[in-house]
Amino acid sequence: MTITEERPAPEANALAELDAHNISAWFGDHKVLDRVSLTMPAGEVTALIGPSGCGKSTFLRILNRMHELVPTASMAGEVLLDGADIYDASRRLTDARHQIGMVFQKPNPFPAMSIYDNVIAGLKLTGTRASRSEKDALVEECLTKGGLWKEVKDRLRAPGGGLSGGQQQRLCIARSLAVRPRVLLMDEPCSALDPTSTRVIEETMLELVKDVTIVIVTHNMQQAQRVSQNCAFFLASHGTPGVIVEHGDTDAMFAEPQDPRTFDYVNGRFG
Ligand SMILES: Nc1ncnc2c1ncn2[C@@H]1O[C@H](COP(=O)(O)OP(=O)(O)OP(=O)(O)O)[C@@H](O)[C@H]1O
Ligand SMILES: [Mg+2]
């Protein structure tokens, strides 16, 4: 008797690794990143830390092709999503932005649009058709994953702009999730929020990371330790382009930094 083994097809939303290789970036002729390489493992949180102006946001925007929105911007290097280059000429720019979502520092829901419509706003942009019941299910799923469902389930038709700052940020997370990204980039997502909202978002992230790879920029060292498994320390010293000084396991990096500059930074000596 022969036994044929059937391999399950990879799920469309299976966990994905993001690999940046030798990323350099410029604004005009000002070089702001120099050959930065970093692996952001699937299903884990990677935190990017470092002083202001060292290129963390620029690096993050390169990871989903938003850097090229700036007219003077240019870059070199490769970004691989599960081994496939997101900058490959045969891939559409919008594919990268759907697969790799972004949450910004300042919550930016569409203020006059209802909570419900905010969540599904991305479907129109991706050209995804969905029935009313499919949309209802998606809205509930994404608001639940975003940690907001219980607070808003009775006022889904109220405007997104009427929520508190922390709720608006969770609405933005839910909106990002609705197009089923494989990676979620978060640029200081809690810096405009109070400690309680920050905690709720951090708990949300720990749940989300089971489904989506997360990369977060944070200036809060405690936050990096609470939410991330991996950490990268960026530095641009004396007007030179940003580089990664040290990266690796978060607990190890905070407990025993290998580079004295990392030690000084994580202990609040500068930045
Ligand atoms: N749109 C832009 N045009 C020109 N220069 C820019 C632009 N955006 C960023 N820069 C420059 O690129 C460098 C890196 O900026 P970036 O915003 O990536 O730093 P950052 O590490 O995110 O800082 P912060 O912690 O303050 O957010 C800085 O020197 C900055 O002035
Ligand atoms: Mg920044």
User: Is 97 part of a structural domain of the chain?
Assistant: yes
Model-level pTM?
Answer: 0.93
What tens digit of pLDDT does each residue of 55-75 get?
Answer: 999 999 999 999 999 999 999
Domain of residue 44, residue span: 18-266
- Whose CA is closest to atom 24 on ligand 1? 52
What CATH number does the domain containing 67 carry?
3.40.50.300
User: Is 38 part of a structural domain of the chain?
Assistant: yes
Structure tokens at 9: 């097809």
Q: How many domains would you assign to the chain?
A: 1
Confidence check: pLDDT of 125 > 90: no
CB of 71 closer than 6 A to ligand 1? no
CB of 241 closer than 6 A to ligand 1? no
User: Is 9 part of a structural domain of the chain?
Assistant: no
Confidence check: pLDDT of 13 > 70: no
pLDDT score, position 9? 46
User: Is 31 part of a structural domain of the chain?
Assistant: yes
CB of 55 closer than 6 A to ligand 1? yes
User: Is 2 part of a structural domain of the chain?
Assistant: no
Backbone angles phi, psi at 206, to 5 degrees: -65, -30
CA–centroid distance, residue 257 to ligand 1 (Å): 26
User: Is 55 part of a structural domain of the chain?
Assistant: yes
User: Is 59 part of a structural domain of the chain?
Assistant: yes
User: Is 47 part of a structural domain of the chain?
Assistant: yes
Please state, as a whole number, how many other Cβ atoms lie within 10 Å of the Cβ of residue 177. Answer: 24
Confidence check: pLDDT of 152 > 80: yes
Confidence label for 89 from pLDDT (cuts 50, 70 and 90)? confident
Structure tokens at 44: 């884990």
CB of 271 closer than 6 A to ligand 1? no
Name residue 48's amino acid.
L
Q: How much is the mean pLDDT over the chain?
A: 92
